[in-house]
Amino acid sequence: MPNELQLLKRITPEVTFILKRRYDMLNTIQSFQPIGRRLLALKIAVSERITRRELSLLQKEGFVLIGAEGVSLTLEGAEFLNDIQPLLREILGLNRLGEELARRYGLSKALVVPGDSGEDEKVLRDIARAAALVLKERIKGNSVIAVMGGSTLAALTEMFTGMSFPEVTVVPARGGLGERVEIQANTIAAKLATNIGGRYRLLHIPENLDPIALKALLADRRIQEVINTIKKADILVYSVGRADVMARRRGLSFEDMEKLLEKGAVAETLGNYLSDRGEVVERAPGIGLEFNDMSRLALTLMVAGGRHKAEALAAALKGNNARILVTDEGAAREILADLI
């Protein structure tokens, strides 16, 4: 297939451009539907004339619905977005980036989607969509899936519909950060479980608790049962953040944040702050899955992107046991450029 695609690109180089434009159009519609033609044209940076022409073609193919309220994606259009991703990655040369990331960091697979989620919010949905496809292939009838919080994983839950895994349990990997409800691990666990037709257990304990308060909570039988379920997880879906950003989200004081950065922290994941060499320089108090749990899991799926997170991602890849990475072009190119 790669050789045939290269031949196609040589004889019809416009194919890549047209495919990418129509993909961006459908992706934008899915993100903002129902959306007016004028706003759609602005968001994908093409003229209204071209937008009308492309929408007419997409409507004939059954990918979009055009109504008084705007343009919406059909079920067939949503399926097309999922199905076209592997081909788009190959045509854009992103599979080679993924293969190089996998080789450098000892991953079984690395998927790279086009764009930079730090600059274009639609790319975050592409990362979520690609990660969802990986997860769908690996869910077993009795899996226990542990998930972290964050915007990307919140988007991932929306990519699951019409599934039935009544024996699958979804749990938060760790306690919450007290941030927006919609991106907390508990919310993501509940929504993912609902969307795959499974069940969930929630952990109503925030991170950074006082050790005395934490000890008292751990004595509660119901909380201990949830923790035991978390420790039985065979799949972990998690993200990575910059150390300074995560320190602020955890409510660290300016002085504590300065001390943390002086230790060389550049990344945070699973409550661990990492140096650029992937070494743990500090641990945030909390309960749930830890680094030493990762080696026993059947699947550890790291999901994060954006050029601004490249250093944090590279540190996390050096420092833990991720088996599959789903990221974007912005992060991938920056990581690999720093290795040259």
List pLDDT tens digits, range 190-210.
999 999 999 999 987 766 666
pLDDT at 193: 93
Q: CA separation (Å) from 81 to 20, 23, 104?
A: 11, 7, 29
pLDDT at 176: 67
Using alpha carbons only, give the angle 30, 36, 39 rounded to the nearest 5 degrees.
Answer: 90
Whether residue 160 contacts residue 132, with contact meaning beta carbons closer than 8 Å, is answered with: yes
What is the pairing mode between strands 324-328 and 299-303?
parallel
Q: Is the pLDDT of residue 339 over 60?
A: no
Per-residue pLDDT averaged across 49-68, rounded?
91
Whether residue 77 contacts residue 65, with contact meaning beta carbons closer than 8 Å, is answered with: no
Q: Is the pLDDT of residue 1 over 60?
A: no
How sure is the predictor about 2, in pLDDT bands with cuts at 50, 70 and 90? low
Q: Is the pLDDT of residue 22 over 80?
A: yes
For 267, the token pair is: 């990344």
Which among 3, 29, 7, 8 has a CA at the least distance from the CA of 18? 8
pLDDT at 6: 62
- Mean pLDDT for all residues in the chain: 86
Which CATH fold would you assign to the domain 2-86? Arc Repressor Mutant, subunit A (1.10.10)
For 140, the token pair is: 């077993």
pLDDT at 179: 64
For 131, the token pair is: 């990660």
Gyration radius from the chain CA atoms: 21
pLDDT at 154: 92
- pTM summary value: 0.83
Q: Is the pLDDT of residue 303 over 90?
A: yes
What is the pairing mode between strands 70-73 and 64-67?
antiparallel
Which CATH code for domain 93-339?
3.40.50.1360
Q: Where are the domains of the chain?
A: 2-86, 93-339
Per-residue pLDDT averaged across 223-231, rounded?
88
For 116, the token pair is: 């930079």
How sure is the predictor about 62, in pLDDT bands with cuts at 50, 70 and 90? very high
User: Rounded to an integer, what distance in angstroms lies between the CA atom of residue 156 and that of residue 57?
Assistant: 29
How sure is the predictor about 21, in pLDDT bands with cuts at 50, 70 and 90? confident
How sure is the predictor about 338, in pLDDT bands with cuts at 50, 70 and 90? low
Q: Is the pLDDT of residue 319 over 60?
A: yes
